[in-house]
Amino acid sequence: MIPKFIDAHVHLNTLSFEKMEKMMEYNAGFLSINTNIPFFDEIEEQEKVILSLQKKYPGRVKYFTTFNFKKWGTPEFVDDAIAQIKRGLNNGAVGVKIWKDLGFDYHHEDGSFVMIDDPIFNPIFEYLQDNKIMLIGHQGEPRNCWLPLEEMTVDSDRNYFREHPEYHMYLQKQYPSYEEQMEARDNMLEKFPKLTYVGLHLFSMEWSIQEVAKRLDRFPNTLTDVAERVCHLQIQAKDNWKDVRDFCIEYQDRIIYGTDVIDDGTIPAEEIAEKFERLWNFHYDFFATSQTLTAPEFKGEFQGLNLPEKVVEKIFYLNAKKTYQFLKP
């Protein structure tokens, strides 16, 4: 592992110290992302945890705020959302997260799904753009979610959707398609070209580095992260090693490392710390070395990308440090 790095996509929802001590052992930092997820604590509670961790580990923990939809369908929704955003920013958040519940969970009066490019959100995105506030977004799901089980590219997706058919969009025809989800996100970025945006999870286009590259080219104020999608880079590297390596080199200033590890108390604190350590080292081996590797998500071997040291430093450290305003490590 490099001497210092930032895991720039985590969800630190408990005060357990084991993960933080592992962070200190590796001379690392965390970007924790508050999210409007039903099984997470309320946004204010998530924020309290981060503020406590920031106090104990100054300079090493940054966070993104978000807003809930409790006033959805009322005239107060937009003003309430902006008020929530302002509260988070006043408490030190470095930007705002918007999640995939847009496109899945909310409806208009006629029953149609509300997408991220809906005009109702225009004042919110205008506020962010006008005030140079960063937006990070997780829109849609991996494309595998809309494919039959036998056509999915990685076993982790195949096993999950086999066990949870209610979330398998291939079976749930009433929801917007994958293409509609991606089009809505792109439409939003077209409307707000000066908005700085990080397309999380490889822009939810993890299946194709070519599609990710198209978005980075089309929207010059955007970046992407690899959180919970490294295996999709690895499976592409299995057959197209040079293409994946060239992608990382070409966009070396716009790719940010993260794991998307969730620490919500459901997994023992020691196991969470061990998970961080295992992923950090495994991912480093993929990006930085030429080792022959295997991944639990699919069958077959692939080679590490053996990226230049400076590129690895940007992906694992410098890009997050600059983008998310870290002072340490």
| pLDDT per residue as tens digits for the range 223-237 | 999 999 999 999 999
**pLDDT-based confidence at 329, cuts 50/70/90?**
confident
Specify the pLDDT at position 218. 98
Give 72-126 pLDDT, tens digit per residue.
999 999 999 999 999 999 999 999 999 999 999 999 989 999 999 999 999 999 9
The CA-based diameter of the chain, rounded to the nearest angstrom, is 57
Q: What is the pLDDT of residues 250-296, one digit of tens each?
A: 999 999 999 999 999 999 999 999 999 999 999 999 999 999 999 99
The residue-averaged pLDDT of 130-137 equals 98
Amino acid residing at 229: R
pLDDT at 189 (0 to 100): 98
* Residues paired with 10 in a beta bridge: 32, 261
- Say which range, 6-15, 101-110, 213-222, 317-326, has the weakest mean pLDDT: 101-110
Rounded CA separation 172/166 (Å): 7
Please provide residue 206's backbone torsions phi and psi, each rounded to the nearest 5 degrees. -60, -20
Cα(284)–Cα(4) distance, rounded to whole angstroms? 12
Query: How far, in Å, are 49, 193, 207, 261, 296 from residue 142 at the CA level?
Result: 29, 25, 8, 17, 17
Q: d(Cα 291, Cα 48) in Å, to the nearest integer?
A: 42
Question: Could you check whether the bond before residue 329 is cis, i.e. omega within 30 degrees of 0?
Answer: yes
- For 13-26, the pLDDT digits (tens) are 999 999 999 999 99
* pLDDT for position 1: 86
Written as one string, the DSSP assignment of 72-116 is: TTSTTHHHHHHHHHHHHHHTT--EEEE-TTTTTT-B-TTSPBP-T
CA atoms of 32 and 93, how far apart (whole Å) = 10
pLDDT of residue 38: 87
Q: How far apart are CA 33 and CA 39, in angstroms?
A: 14
Residue 327 pLDDT exceeds 90:
no
Domains, in order of start, for the chain? 5-323 (3.20.20.140)
pLDDT at 178: 97
